[in-house]
Structure 1
Amino acid sequence: MENAFAPRITRHPLPFDPAAGAEAASRFQALGPDLAPLLTGAAGCSPYLWDLMQREGDWLCEALIQPPEAALASELAALEALALAELGPGLRRAKRRIALLAGLADLGGVWPLEAVTGALTQLADRAVDLSLQRLVAEEIRRGKIPGATPEDAATAAGMVVFAMGKMGAGELNYSSDIDLICLFDESLYPEDAAEARAAFIRVTRKMAALVGDRTAEGYVFRTDLRLRPDAAVTPVCLSFAAAESYYESVGRTWERAAWIKARPCAGDLAAGERFLKTLTPFVWRKHLDFAAIQDAHDMRLRIRDHRRLHGPIVVEGHNMKLGVGGIREIEFFTQTRQLIAGGRDPDLRGRETVPGLTALAEKGWIPPEVAQELITLYRAHREVEHRLQMVSDAQTHDMPNTAEGVARIAAFCGQEDADFRSALIDRLERTDYLTEGFFAPSEVEEGPELSESADEIVRGWDSYPALRTERAGTIFRRVKPGLLTRLQRAANPDEALIAFDGFLAGLPAGVQIFSLFEANPQLIDLIVDIAATSPALARYLSRNASVFDAVLGGSFFAAWPSMTELTGGLSAVLTDTPDYERKLDATRRWMKEWHFRIGVHHLRGLIDAFEAGKQYADLAEACLAALWPVVEAEFAQKHGAPPGRGAILLGMGSLGAGRLNAGSDLDLIVIYDAGDADASEGPKPLGIRPYFARLTQAMITAVTAQLPEGRLYEVDMRLRPSGRQGPVATSVHSFRNYQMSEAWTWEHLALTRARPLAGDAGLRAEFEVLRREVLTTKGAGETVFKDVADMRARLASAKPAANDWDAKNGPGRLMDIELLAQTGALRAGDPARRVEAQLRAGVKGQFLSQTEEQAVLSAYRLCWRLQAASRLLTDKALDMDRLGIGARAFLLRETDQQDEAALSRRLEEVLPESAAVINRVLGAGERNG
């Protein structure tokens, strides 16, 4: 038969008991010589397997002439027709046969580890589910489950059993007990929850006995219900609400790790999946959770202390599961990494160990070669574990305490004793080496000697909120020496220390961030670099320390994504976030991480000011484009969908031009087209004007509201028609009429940089046609230059330069140049939005020569670099005397100047030339008009 058992055998045990082996060879000689070594070795090493071979001999002869998968499926299928009274004996018969089949398939190399553990798990799933169905059906028949009908037995009337641990992961070992948590959906019993709970408690107890009790027929699986919430005081079956309340309030790291592998295996599976989703925030934290490392390390040490498993590795008596270098080390290594990063990356939330290691390697959390080696070690450890358990069907993980016992296991593994011992110790030591460095906290090292002033600063740290807990202090003491050493290497150590002190003082809590530093020393380098360059960014980090998560996410230093990728990334986050306010907070978290990345890339010279400007603008656009439909949908629930083609969101000013700095606010306008509608259609309909006015206000609130994650952006809507006095949203027809008949020249100038960002694609295209029409028509007006000259004079009076380093305000600087550029675009009727292209339009329009264009561009480029860099360093006017060495070095690198004097001279060269060009063009308004 194709894929039959015998041709797939690749190995076999050596018979430790030759007499038993010989007897087995005689008993099954009819099966032929290909199977003889396997059957002889199995019987000669395992009294348990030899007993099963004798009890189920007739069945075995049939099973071994067909594919083992078919024999497994046949046994499982036979269980479906069993009534409650027949189920106990039937399950025990199936256990004997499937244990024998899986054991031989394992020993012969016919099945890989995953198929062996998968077969055992399938049996456990069917045993629990069928027991649950039959027992719930009996409770329903007796009228003990309020309102339930016989049909409800198929879904256990709202009860669900979660397979935990190895069963949840499909990784049951050969003699596993099964860890179960039993819950029920109390929402199905709003008035009779207590009566339903009593019935489900009875079902749980009977199910555990039906599956777990040892009878003359044997047992199915020993059952453990102690992983449930607060098992010492709670009943064996709880409501969803009670379990959720427990995990939200007092759930611990080990319970989070346990729920990584949890899987609904019986009863109402759909309700079980819904409950798992409610636990997602508990199991998978939104921030990288490096404090889980310390929890896991402490847990490992407590287990070892309890089991007295410390000390050197010796073969006799070594615990293959919990001992040094054992199976649990690899599982903890995998699960802890999953806990750290799985909140941000659903791809890392797998239940199984081997796929979990593979995913961690693919996402860059562990080196691929380490993952592969741990997978090989894990499989080898599990095979030894299975053979330990196959000897006598004992739930043991301990190697035998005698040389004779070890020799039996060596033979069971098909090896000579000496070779087996040597290879086993090598594997255990290698596992310990690969995992221990990850778990064990660093030893506290000596830090550098500090000056008196520095020592005084450091002594004050113990009083900061971030160090108020003993745990935070313990972790920080391990981190501090390396941190101080790195601070001492800064260009100006005292400045760097003061800036870091500001960061530390602003941290509200420290366990997570200090654990993050301990596990990832490169982050200490980063914070020192930031503190030494931009104290303002360091203070920002203290309020938003979660942005460090992004550095470790695997793509922090990757190429900047496209707008489609950027917007799609945020949209996916929002789709997976349940309620409206959480979506707004999620947007803020997402934006901060990307905003931080741009700032770090700029500080470190990976991008320049112009690339940073583009990225900040892309980021803002992505936030608005992803958030706009979310706001619309939330608003529509109450007031109906937007009438007609709805509204579009326009970016104005620097946002429209696609170039922002680190501190930019957003200039926005809303335009709508309601078609022929008079009002919206919804539970609370609104007239057209109030509908779009309130929708616009909802969007502004969504962006500017102070939520737990802060604000998204500051918003300015003064560029809308009629400024502060005008409505916050304008119909497209009113906007056209206003621009053509009422708007001032400055409003036409603003339109040169207007850009649709979100909303109906057709309306966005129509707006662009309208924008170009307005520019072409109004740019030819006789008063354009005079109006601009008047506007320039008012701006110069209202916003003079703060000092010689002011790159934005003052003659020949950014605002002056942007005014000239917009005038060029308006006058030429050119749709260009960016300064460079708008100045080129001025050349094409023949009121700006190429020489003048280059003079203005030279000033613009220098001023933009100076402005973008200074806004990353401080939100105040740039004062060179107050900048630290690192900040000055960054500023000079960005402007490509050797020193402060050279930068000053360069400004003195380009600004007057730029101002002269602008004076000439705008001062000649009447002639050019």
Structure 2
Amino acid sequence: MSTRTAFARRLTRQPIAHDAAMAADTRAAFADLPAELASLLAATAGCSPYLRELMAREAGWLRVALTMAPETALTTVLVRLDDLALADLGSGLRQAKRRVALLTALADLGGVWPLEQVTGALTQLADRAVDLCLKRLVADEIRRGKLPGATPEDAATAGGMVALAMGKMGAGELNYSSDIDLICLFDESRYGDDSAEARAAFLRVTRKMTALLSDHTAEGYVFRTDLRLRPDAAVTPVCLSMAAAESYYESVGRTWERAAYIKARPCGGDIAAGQKFLTTLIPFVWRKHLDFTAIQDAHDMRLRIRDHRGLNGPLVVEGHNMKLGQGGIREIEFFTQTRQLIAGGRDPALRDRTTVGALAALAAKGWLPRDVAAELTAHYRAHREVEHRLQMVGDAQTHDMPNSAEGVARIAHFMGVEPAAFRAGLLARLARVESLTDSFFAPGRAEDGPELTEKTRAVVEGWRAYPCLRSERAVEMFKRLRPAILKRLAEAGNPDEALAAFDGFLAGLPAGVQIFALFEANPQLVDLIVDIAATSPLLARYLARNSGVMDAVIGGAFFSAWPGAQALAAELAARLADMPDYERKLDNARRWMKEWHFRIGVHHLRGLTDAFQAGKEYADLAEAVVQALWPVVLAEFARKHGAAPGRGAVVLGMGSLGAGRLNAGSDLDLIVIYDPQDDEASTGPKPLAARPYFARLTQALVTALTAPMAEGRLYEVDMRLRPSGRQGPVATSLAAFQSYQQDEAWTWEHLALTRARVLAGDAGLAAEVEGFRRALLLAKGPGAQVLGDVAAMRQRLQAAKPAAGLWEAKNGPGRLMDIELMAQTAALRLGDPARRVEAQIEAGRRGGFLSQTAATDLLAAYRLCWRLQAGTRLLTGGVLDPATLGLGGCAFVLRETGEASTAALGARLETLTARAAAVIGTGLGEAAAPVGDDGQT
């Protein structure tokens, strides 16, 4: 057998090409390979854009690798990492990740490796990456004299630091696009009185390691790294002393943490110290007596996962979560780990880290029938293969089946079977796993009295395992609060909805008693939480993730008068001025914005403001954020590249932001205009020519607003309203902007300018931009083609974005976008500088473009649609549906719109939007003549 066929001779299967054209291109690119290899590559490329890209990028290496046995190819990749210096480690690891990802995928898809070898290869790379990062980074700390008493030789054991691989990495079972779960510890006994200084060094190492592995660069990433399985992750540092971790587990460790440590394994750094630490945890993980309470705890966990993720619906292929859904991977893992916890304390043979190995051990010891263990093993392997195909399509860490038949067909073909057979087989496996595992869990009954329904009792039982109820003091405080909370929840319009939302809030709270102390001292907060839970699940979820906002709620300013955009901008600017570094400024801006955003939502929800005041406040808040962040971004950019050339730039708010009215879910439409005057470039440490300077400055602003950080992101940003849209530069010079608007812009771009408003930047440039805007509207509005262009645009919009039904407030004839289009048309035709819809419609009436009746009809429909849209975005991310909104949500919408029932509201919406649509259709169809009160021109 020649070495060239070492891989090819082991092929046993291959996918079915889902995209024949992509498959053909790849086959042609690799036509020099043996036919069976070219066929595998082609079929794979026809199912996975990600793998197709890897093949093209690593084509030279791949040709050589496929001449070897895959084990040899893998070893070669991993061994080459050992010689990498710290400076080259990030690039080298990313190259290795690309190659190992490609090799394992092909070995998996071709049936060359079984599941255990596929997941094992991915885990080997993760182990090597973590170990090298720790040792190289600790060596650097030693070199810089930052690790007290350490010598260069101590780098071989990472100075006593160890990373524990948890979850699938610990078991050697990493999935194809898996995160890696790590717990980082250090042996404090090596440092004595210098342990605090040592901890600071190890914290730096942990953060740098996470960045080396997780950061996305032009070369990709290595592994997304998750450190949240460490003790009390919400409040503890990312690297702990072993003594502190041991103390935590001895005092407050919970069942899920015991289950997590079944798979724990030292994977990098001081392996011996890590193993010693795990030995000390044996009494915590493995109880000496048979531990049947683990069954209840595991069942509670299953219920919470299903309830929180909405996974209790009917079993269907589309959208099914292969990990957490009914009959999924987690069901088998829970089933297995729970049995291990019950009996593993007495029988070390049951402590296998792997799922398949543990099932075999349980069967061998009589804890499982052998046929059940064999069947679950087969289903587990099949589930994991489907999981891998889902992730191989685009290297996404997903477990959800596609939501479309086309997407499901792609996965079926990736599995090498036709869609109908794949569907039938998958549903049968899921149902069978559900049947085998569900009967094992027998939930107990909560001791809350007969007034609780079974459903309520099950939810309340699960509260005992939440982080916020970890300590005895928290439990005692909550016991005093619970009757009042349950009473208020029972009195909600829909008690089940309110309970589910409150459960989500409670689950998201961190450990500690502060929130319960607040509730005891401020009973009105309980009413507020229940009100939010019963009405707006979105606000409840936000509150769960940001419980610290309760401090703002009890502060005196929460219910005071709205301060306005300028006062808010000044407040944020003052806060940011006190922050020492750029990232902390951005994170604090996020925290500040979210508190105010939550305040607006609560005021709207509780009737302290209406949709129009809330819309103004959301816009004021966004304007304040842009105003306060712009100089921060500018200063950071100038530090590297010098002051902005010429007069600098201004940031324009477009669309709803420019008009000063946003809703709870709005993104920001922005454009940037700059004037370099006679300056060709900046004069900083790294000077830039004017055009790239402002382009990169604009990107820095967008990143400052959109980047996900510890406190989340500020806003999504849309810059498509700039000249030439996506094809144009992200920042536009004043001269180019003026020239484009005068000579090239389409009518829709002139319509967009009717709502443009400078938010931040040089005052002189801002005045010039505004003067140009007004002059341009006067010049372009009377054009003969305007109404025809708008009418054509309206038809395209309605074809592209039709109404989603009666309750759609935004899209469709006579609804928000349609009315806004007509209002902008009125402002453009008359050259009026008004930006708000009402003012633009009034300008149209005043100038004779609209009659009084037409203006009245447009405003009536607009006001109702805005109230619906603003209310909908506060309650849900989708279209309003009274049938699923819940009683609390429906009551809010009816109060906001002044209607007695959803039937009456629907009838009114239908009538008003029909009238508005008729006005718009008539107005755009009658050249430039005004629409009369009787519909005649």
Amino acid at match of 1:663: G
Distance 1:522 1:760, change over 3 A: same
User: 1:615 maps to what in 2?
Assistant: 617
Deviation (angstroms), 1:474: 4.3
User: 1:80 maps to what in 2?
Assistant: none
Written as runs of structure 1 = structure 2, the 5 A alignment for 1:421-820 is 449-468=451-470, 472-507=474-509, 509=511, 511-820=513-822
User: 1:278 maps to what in 2?
Assistant: none
Deviation (angstroms), 1:813: 0.5
Q: Secondary structure at the match of 1:669?
A: strand
Amino acid at match of 2:889: A
Q: Secondary structure at the match of 1:660?
A: coil
Deviation (angstroms), 1:902: 1.3
Distance 1:484 1:680, change over 3 A: same
Give distance in 1, aligned partners of 2:512 and 2:461: 17
Deviation (angstroms), 1:476: 3.1
Amino acid at match of 1:598: I
Deviation (angstroms), 1:282: 11
Deviation (angstroms), 1:464: 3.6
TM-score by length of 1: 0.52
**1:844 is aligned to 2:846:** yes
Deviation (angstroms), 1:522: 1.9
Deviation (angstroms), 1:845: 2.6
Give distance in 1, aligned partners of 2:543 and 2:625: 21
Deviation string, structure 1 residues 212-265 (Cα, Å, up to 9, x no partner): xxxxxxxxxxxxxxxxxx9xx999xx999799999999xxxxxxxxxxxxxxxx
Amino acid at match of 1:770: F
Deviation (angstroms), 1:472: 4.3
Deviation (angstroms), 1:484: 1.3
Q: Which runs of 5+ in 1 are unaligned?
A: 1-189, 196-229, 250-280, 284-444
Deviation (angstroms), 1:562: 2.8
Q: Secondary structure at the match of 1:545?
A: coil
**1:867 is aligned to 2:874:** no
Q: Secondary structure at the match of 1:650?
A: strand
Deviation string, structure 1 residues 11-50 (Cα, Å, up to 9, x no partner): xxxxxxxxxxxxxxxxxxxxxxxxxxxxxxxxxxxxxxxx
User: 1:916 maps to what in 2?
Assistant: 918
Amino acid at match of 1:650: L
Distance 1:842 1:471, change over 3 A: same
Distance 1:805 1:239, change over 3 A: closer
Deviation string, structure 1 residues 692-725 (Cα, Å, up to 9, x no partner): 0000000000000000100100000000000000
Amino acid at match of 1:734: A
Q: Secondary structure at the match of 2:671?
A: strand
Amino acid at match of 1:573: R
Q: Secondary structure at the match of 2:559?
A: coil
Tell me if the contact between 1:447 and 1:484 (Cα under 8 Å) persists in the aligned partners: no
Give distance in 1, aligned partners of 2:911 and 2:844: 23
Give distance in 1, aligned partners of 2:843 and 2:524: 48
Q: Secondary structure at the match of 2:685?
A: coil
Q: Secondary structure at the match of 2:829?
A: helix
Give distance in 2, aligned partners of 1:689 and 1:849: 47
Written as runs of structure 1 = structure 2, the 5 A alignment for 1:891-910 is 891-910=893-912
Give distance in 2, aligned partners of 1:879 and 1:244: 53
Percent identity for Structure 1 against Structure 2: 66
Deviation string, structure 1 residues 506-528 (Cα, Å, up to 9, x no partner): 44546443343333322211110
Deviation (angstroms), 1:548: 1.8
Give distance in 2, aligned partners of 1:706 and 1:515: 31
Tell me if the contact between 2:148 and 2:198 (Cα under 8 Å) persists in the aligned partners: no
Give distance in 1, aligned partners of 2:584 and 2:147: 31
Deviation (angstroms), 1:834: 0.2
Tell me if the contact between 1:448 and 1:481 (Cα under 8 Å) persists in the aligned partners: no
Deviation string, structure 1 residues 145-193 (Cα, Å, up to 9, x no partner): xxxxxxxxxxxxxxxxxxxxxxxxxxxxxxxxxxxxxxxxxxxxx9999
Give distance in 2, aligned partners of 1:501 and 1:803: 32
Written as runs of structure 1 = structure 2, the 5 A alignment for 1:197-236 is none
Q: Which runs of 5+ in 2 are unaligned?
A: 1-143, 150-187, 206-233, 237-446, 931-936
Tell me if the contact between 1:247 and 1:282 (Cα under 8 Å) persists in the aligned partners: no
Give distance in 1, aligned partners of 2:895 and 2:560: 23
Distance 1:282 1:248, change over 3 A: farther
Give distance in 1, aligned partners of 2:517 and 2:721: 47
Deviation string, structure 1 residues 484-538 (Cα, Å, up to 9, x no partner): 1221222332221122123233445464433433333222111100011111211
Deviation string, structure 1 residues 757-805 (Cα, Å, up to 9, x no partner): 0011111111100100111111111100000001000000000111101
Amino acid at match of 1:455: R
Give distance in 1, aligned partners of 2:465 and 2:656: 43
Q: Secondary structure at the match of 2:673?
A: strand
Give distance in 2, aligned partners of 1:542 and 1:621: 27
Give distance in 2, aligned partners of 1:742 and 1:708: 43
In terms of mean alpha carbon deviation, does 460-469 or 689-698 score higher?
Answer: 460-469
Tell me if the contact between 1:447 and 1:481 (Cα under 8 Å) persists in the aligned partners: no
User: 1:877 maps to what in 2?
Assistant: 879
Distance 1:766 1:874, change over 3 A: same
Stretches (4+) displaced over 6 A:
190-195, 238-249, 445-448, 926-929
Q: Secondary structure at the match of 2:558?
A: coil
Give distance in 1, aligned partners of 2:850 and 2:485: 55
Amino acid at match of 1:732: L
Give distance in 2, aligned partners of 1:843 and 1:572: 44
Give distance in 2, aligned partners of 1:582 and 1:754: 31
Give distance in 1, aligned partners of 2:489 and 2:450: 10
User: 1:170 maps to what in 2?
Assistant: none
User: What is the RMSD of the two structures over their aligned residues, measured on CA atoms?
Assistant: 3.5
Give distance in 1, aligned partners of 2:816 and 2:646: 40
Tell me if the contact between 2:637 and 2:697 (Cα under 8 Å) persists in the aligned partners: yes
Give distance in 1, aligned partners of 2:876 and 2:490: 24
Deviation string, structure 1 residues 639-669 (Cα, Å, up to 9, x no partner): 0011111011100000000000000000000
Distance 1:240 1:761, change over 3 A: farther
Distance 1:794 1:519, change over 3 A: same
Tell me if the contact between 2:806 and 2:910 (Cα under 8 Å) persists in the aligned partners: no
TM-score by length of 2: 0.52
Give distance in 1, aligned partners of 2:735 and 2:707: 31
Distance 1:859 1:707, change over 3 A: same
Tell me if the contact between 1:670 and 1:728 (Cα under 8 Å) persists in the aligned partners: yes
Q: Secondary structure at the match of 1:613?
A: helix
Give distance in 1, aligned partners of 2:192 and 2:465: 41
Q: Secondary structure at the match of 1:706?
A: coil
Amino acid at match of 1:917: V
Give distance in 2, aligned partners of 1:927 and 1:478: 71
Tell me if the contact between 1:447 and 1:485 (Cα under 8 Å) persists in the aligned partners: no
Q: Secondary structure at the match of 2:686?
A: coil
The structure that has the greater radius of gyration is: 1
Distance 1:811 1:451, change over 3 A: same
Give distance in 1, aligned partners of 2:912 and 2:622: 31
User: 2:389 maps to what in 1?
Assistant: none
Give distance in 1, aligned partners of 2:808 and 2:718: 22
